[in-house]
Structure 1
Amino acid sequence: MTRILIFALLFWINLPIHAQDSIVYKPNQIRDFKLVPLPAIASNPANGWLFGIAPSATWRMGDPESTHLSNLVGNLVYTTKKQWLISSRSTIFLADDSWILVGDWRFFITSQPTFGLGSSSPNEPTENPKQADVWWGEQQMDYNWVRFYETVLKRISTSKFYLGVGYHLDIYSKIDNFIEDGIPQEFTFSNDFYNHSKGFNLDKNTLSGITLNAIMENRDLAVSPYETNFALVSYKINPEFLGSNQSSSTLLLDYRHYFPLSEKRKRHLLALWSYANFLVSGDLPYMALPSIGYDLFGRSGRGYSQGRFRGESMVYSEAEYRFPLQKNKETFGGTIFVNAASFGSKLTQENLLTKINPGYGLGLRVMINKANRTTITADYGFGQKGNSGFYLNINESF
């Protein structure tokens, strides 16, 4: 989802589950629940002005010494372009981190520009030099999107490793492509050309599959880490008998590492992120292809709009230097970041890493709860060819 810029009026609500703290922790009983109900006001080219709420919550399901903080981020937003954006994304750690539950639920009545496949697509709409009579560059799309992702992972003994399975459903419907007024609509849209070439419907597509997942969860705090690392390997199988239009499979890789630069101020750190997504077999509908900004929390690709680049394969990397801005307090912090992405597409005959799209920027951090490290993040990112954007979110980008 296009990143929401959240302004003004922050509430911090502590909702105690017990009248007083106890040294006895009942397994999987909610403790230390904290809710930040954020009124949301935003503006971006894809959605116009957005109004609604964007609540964020954290809690624990067990002993704080052995159980990570669980978290949930939601959105209920209406836009001046008559769009509804409703979502809930959560990571829940059960007592002693014995299980992890990861959820991503969305219902969008929305629109978004798309630019064609690969890393070389221009900003302005033009004819694709490798595909006669096909649009290349910015094309608007109206569509409805239903997503239901739920993954369950079991800890392996007392290690930091987890294995699990998930069910993943995406339904794209009422897809309508158009070019802005004043531009002759004489070519085929990229979405229509790709889906027609691969045998998919032009106005509705379903992707329904099972994932096999392996995770290493070694971060000290998942929402805003100071140290150690995280890794994910997810192989997704989308068979027709589960409802997919066509059978396919994909492989997703995600690795993050955090290097504290000061023992006394661990907020002073270097964070690294590598992310890759590959089509392994079969074909995917156009909207389900790997794309920038479609990680779980939509944080990749600062400097570009969500969906700016798309292809059958993608690789992405980012480095971020985070630092405190106060000598003895943790309220304010800053960041400088650089990123790079590359996309490959057989249909446009563009190989992965042939073209790399870099981004860079800086940001401000405001920690509104030190114990849970709940943080408001404000970033401005720059991409190539005039691409840029301002991003305001809850918690660190990765």
Structure 2
Amino acid sequence: MKLFVRHSLLCLGFLAAGTLCSTKAQVTTGNDNTTAIASIDTLLSPEPAPKKLNLFQKVINYFNESNEPRPEKKFDFGIIGGPHYSSTTKLGLGIVASGTYRTRRDSLTQLSNVSLYGDATTTGFLLIGVKGNNLFPENKYRIDYDFYLYTFPSDFWGIGYDNGNNNANKSSYNRLETILLANWLARFHRNLYGGISTGFNWVKGSRFTKPELLNGEPHEVISTSVGLVLTYDSRDFIPNAARGIYLNINQRFFPRFLGNKNPFTRTAFVFDAYQRLWKGAILAFDLHGEFNYGDVPWNMLASLGGSTRMRGYYEGRYRDKNLIETQLELRQHIWRRNGIAVWVGAGNVFPSFSGFKWNHTLPNYGIGYRWEFKNRVNLRLDYGFGKKGQSGFLFNINEAF
């Protein structure tokens, strides 16, 4: 009734202004001046109340709508969680929240991204962190950052390929670590950036079952760095590139005046390339090198394995002053939001260039499932394999590289 009165008042207002209400139609027939008023019951009848959804239906709707492009939203955000298993952390539950945004609405600025992540496993591994790439208007400046804190009952094989390759060296210890890395970059020319690199690492190891593998090094280490970074980046979308090249060269210094017990330096580079092959297929290539000079603490040595490279290896089983690793990955879209990935790779840790040995090269291969959680932001489930029967199942957000 209230709706009918409100509608009638609105019509009268229109008539007073000399207009005709759209819900009435006067029709004059012959001389009897019969007026027919069109029924408005169907127009005024209230819409049926929306059906209430149960929790399961709400979850399904959330995921169905999560990958739809939303250009009107300043910050497009979503959250997802799931189980995983790896040889490093065993069975666990991971939660990842991902968001994309622009610091200003313009077509020249690529989307910035941020990911919040947490993990807990049956071995007592606990992790919380945040990482992302913040791009300023017209891509003139950018900040790349990664911060995480974790505690982990870990394994340790010692330093060098031979120690890592010896199953009898496997020992345990408890590890508490905080890591912060940030690159502050300015654009020099189109896709070329340069700037300052900063880093902080604190680790405390305890309850070593074989402390002799540390060679007398302290269990607690603080490492602070500052350096220079040069980046060329023509990728179309950082979290999931379909074309372009990424080159990063980073020279970091760990001097005494920043709190380092023993000074050392690190030179690292990353080269990635992406190419479309056929419909839905992307070929991605990654080459990574890390070279340390000086008295490098045990926790700051180049370590092989993890969630992005040499997937399936226990992270840190093979560690030394220097590392070179590469991988080639084929990513194929299959149907709707589903895809797969397969990769092959190899890595080598060595004490010096003169001590590099080809027969110490470690193989890596694996297969993964991709589900588009948000527009061009993939949830990835990878299963990687390596030497010595090592394997691991990984759950993460965004592509490995």
- Which residue of the partner structure matches residue 174 of structure 2? 142
Following TM superposition, by how much is the alpha carbon of 1:276 offset from its aligned partner in structure 2, in angstroms?
A: 0.2
- Structure 2 letter corresponding to 1:314: L
Following TM superposition, by how much is the alpha carbon of 1:354 offset from its aligned partner in structure 2, in angstroms?
A: 4.3
Aligned: 1:273 with 2:286: yes
Q: Greater share of helix residues, 1 or 2?
A: 2
Aligned: 1:356 with 2:352: no
- Which residue of the partner structure matches residue 304 of structure 1? 313
Aligned: 1:340 with 2:356: no
Query: In percent, how many aligned pairs have the same letter?
Result: 22
Aligned: 1:247 with 2:263: yes
1:395 paired residue among 377, 395, 398: 398
Q: Is residue 231–residue 249 contact of structure 2 (8 Å, CA) maintained in 1?
A: yes
Q: Is residue 343–residue 352 contact of structure 1 (8 Å, CA) maintained in 2?
A: no
- Structure 1 letter corresponding to 2:368: G
Q: CA RMSD in A?
A: 2.6
Decide which moves more: 169-178 or 216-225. 169-178
What TM-score results when the alignment is normalised by the length of structure 2?
Answer: 0.77
Alpha-carbon distance between aligned partners in 2 of 1:318 and 1:305, rounded to the nearest angstrom: 17
1:88 paired residue among 109, 122, 130: 130
For structure 2, the 5+ residue unaligned runs are: 1-58
- Which residue of the partner structure matches residue 67 of structure 1? 109
Q: Spell out, residue by residue over 1:230-284, the C-alpha distance to the aligned partner (whole angstroms, 9 max, x if none).
A: 000000000011011111100001000011113xx3x3121110000001x3121
Decide which moves more: 305-314 or 226-235. 305-314
- Which residue of the partner structure matches residue 171 of structure 1? 202
Counterparts of 1:1-398 in structure 2, within 5 Å, are: 11=62, 21=72, 32-51=74-93, 53-63=95-105, 65-121=107-163, 125-126=167-168, 136=169, 138-157=170-189, 159-178=190-209, 188-190=211-213, 192-193=214-215, 196=216, 200-201=217-218, 203-262=219-278, 265=279, 267-279=280-292, 281-293=293-305, 298-326=307-335, 329=336, 331-345=337-351, 350-351=355-356, 353-369=358-374, 372-398=375-401
Q: Spell out, residue by residue over 1:92-151, the C-alpha distance to the aligned partner (whole angstroms, 9 max, x if none).
A: 11111111111111111222222223334456643xxxxxxxxx3x22221110112222
For structure 1, the 5+ residue unaligned runs are: 1-8, 22-30, 127-135, 179-186
- Number of aligned positions between the proteins: 339
In structure 2, relative to structure 1, the CA distance for the partners of 1:82 and 1:356 (3 Å cut) is closer
Q: Spell out, residue by residue over 1:206-252, the C-alpha distance to the aligned partner (whole angstroms, 9 max, x if none).
A: 11110200001100101001001100000000001101111110000
| Structure (1 or 2) with the larger CA radius of gyration | 2
Alpha-carbon distance between aligned partners in 1 of 2:139 and 2:359, rounded to the nearest angstrom: 42
Alpha-carbon distance between aligned partners in 1 of 2:96 and 2:212, rounded to the nearest angstrom: 34
Following TM superposition, by how much is the alpha carbon of 1:286 offset from its aligned partner in structure 2, in angstroms?
A: 0.6
Alpha-carbon distance between aligned partners in 2 of 1:90 and 1:45, rounded to the nearest angstrom: 27
What TM-score results when the alignment is normalised by the length of structure 1?
Answer: 0.78
Q: Is residue 374–residue 394 contact of structure 1 (8 Å, CA) maintained in 2?
A: yes
Q: Is residue 314–residue 352 contact of structure 1 (8 Å, CA) maintained in 2?
A: no
- Structure 1 letter corresponding to 2:92: L
